[in-house]
Structures are given as C-alpha cells and as structure tokens.
Amino acid sequence: VKLVAIADEGWICTGRMWAFIVSAAFVLAARAHHFSVDVEDVANMLAINPLTIEVRIREIKELLISVMQHLPWGHMINKTNVHVYLLFAIDFFDVLKPVAPLLRRQQLEMEAEQTATAAVAAIRQE
C-alpha cells in the first residue's frame, strides 16, 4: 500500500489503470522480501499486459532512485539493485522526498567546487 502511495506522490498513478500500478508494487515488494515473482504470472492472473507492468516497475524504480541517489551511498543504487534498498526507501520516503532537492543542490555545488579546484590546479601546472 505504501509503495502505491509513493507512486501516487510521484505522479505515476495519474491517468493510469490501477491494476498495473498495484501489480508493479506487488512485484517490487515481493522482490524486496526475496521472493521470486514472475511478471508474466502476475499478468496472466489479472488478465493484463505484462509489458505495461514492466513499464510501471521501471517508473517506480526511477522515482525511488531519483530520491535516494543524493544520499551518501546513493551512487551504489541502480535499477538492478533498487529492490535491496526498497524497504529503506519506503520507511524513509516521507523524509527523503522533501530533502531530495536540497541534497541535489548541495551535490551540484560540491561538483562545481571540485571542477573549479581541478581547473585552478591545471592552470598552476602549466
């Protein structure tokens, strides 16, 4: 339920059929708890298109990655292992969502500072 609410906050549910969102959330939650769930089987059970479920899974993963990538260990999260961090994301999404823009801004400022420092060092070497 919480994963569907997160998808709704990320505008993934807007204008889309609920079955695909719930199916995608179910598959992601099952994988987070180390259950092997085949998207084809879920789609056949609900008589819906498995490709659309895969698209919704990808969208939810991208949303979660976009929020968590600014954490100190965020560089370790990608689309293939986001299910490992899913429980953390669900527990702390209410905290991470409002802080994500601030963390991104800080990350950009640090990168700009590092680039400027590298440029000054390159000029000094010449």
Q: What confidence tens digit (pLDDT) does each residue in 72-118 have?
A: 888 899 999 998 999 998 898 888 888 777 777 887 888 888 888 88
pTM of the model: 0.75
Angle at 9 between CA 74 and CA 99, to 5 degrees: 40
**Sign of torsion, CA 17 52 11 79?**
positive
Both structure tokens of 109: 């400022």
Tokens encoding 66: 């976009």
